[in-house]
Amino acid sequence: MSALWESESFRRVAGKVWRPGGTALTARGLELCHELCGLASGQLVLDLGCGCGATVALLHKAGYGVLGLDRQVQPDAASLTDQDKINIIQADMTCLPLAANCAGALVCECVLSLLPDPLAALRQCLRVLRPGGALLFTDLTRREPDPPATAAKTCHSQEGFAACSTVSSSGRRPELSPELSAGFYATQAKGSSCMDGACPAAQWGQYLTQAGFQIVHYEDHTRALVELAARMVWYADAGAETSGASGGCSCISSGGGRKFGYGLWIAQKEKA
């Protein structure tokens, strides 16, 4: 079976941004990198798993030096190399062909859950970051069935921007209804869906710290995942997805009673 991002129905809904939250969530993360880690215009930012190049274009427009990397360079991303100071290369995240301490920041959006060894990839990320450099990381989370009743920050997209509020984990959180879930049973082969590699948020945090990062910020953006699911049901051929005739958004499936969320982390390499 083809991978999720190769599905015509998924691309019809997601366009060139193959993840929840779109570029509004990326912009939110970059603002946090600037505020919390000192990321400045002109610094080199690497987009790991750059896909069609939506984030690459956003970074270029914001005034950063940009390098996009992907295991398979998409035609839309390759076309961006005609613009000044934009480079796209084919590379593996677990063996980055880059010098140590070369980047001011890394962007890794919905990529680690597709890798067999995310910890190895994160260690490569740490190697190429300069001291004090920032990692903007977003990915699918596997939600714990009975989380502790503590306050947590949840954010969602509102008129193109990320709106945040603090809620109790004992209250209602955004989640997929049975109607939305029905259209998104997994139809991808093992390893082609981020659902296969989704981890609880605490596990992603453990990977970051094991790799040597310091976590400076975390936000729950499950609302963005719910909104993507709703668009898939509304605009895509839901009947085809349910029957398995074409690739459904398996990262949003709650098949087997499992529930998924989406998180954003800002992590930093220790300063010299």
- Contact of 236 with 148, CB cutoff 8 Å: no
Residue 162: the pLDDT is: 42
Burial class (CB in 10 A: 0-12, 13-18, 19+), 67: buried
- Tens place of pLDDT per residue across the chain (272 aa): 344 445 555 555 555 556 788 889 999 999 999 999 999 999 999 999 887 788 988 999 999 999 999 887 766 656 667 666 678 888 898 999 999 999 999 999 989 998 999 999 999 999 999 999 999 999 999 876 644 444 444 444 443 334 444 333 344 455 544 444 444 433 334 445 677 789 999 999 999 999 999 999 999 999 988 877 776 666 554 444 433 332 334 444 444 335 889 999 999 999 98
Helix axes 201-211, 118-128, angle to 10 degrees: 50
Pairwise CA distance, residues 255 & 244, whole Å: 14
Q: Measuring CA to CA, how many Å separate 82 from each of 10, 27, 60, 87, 91?
A: 27, 23, 12, 9, 19
| Dihedral of alpha carbons 23, 39, 154, 188, sign | positive
Pairwise CA distance, residues 27 & 113, whole Å: 21
The yes or no reply on domain 4-268 and CATH 3.40.225.10 is no
Residue 195: the pLDDT is: 75
Which residues have CB under 8 Å from 28's CB, separation 6+? 21, 155, 161, 162, 264
Pairwise CA distance, residues 118 & 208, whole Å: 9
- Contact of 39 with 104, CB cutoff 8 Å: yes
Pairwise CA distance, residues 260 & 175, whole Å: 8
- Contact of 269 with 126, CB cutoff 8 Å: yes
Residue 44: the pLDDT is: 96
Task: Provide the whole-model pTM.
Answer: 0.75
Q: Measuring CA to CA, how many Å separate 167 from each of 149, 152, 154, 221, 269?
A: 10, 6, 7, 13, 30
Pairwise CA distance, residues 266 & 231, whole Å: 27
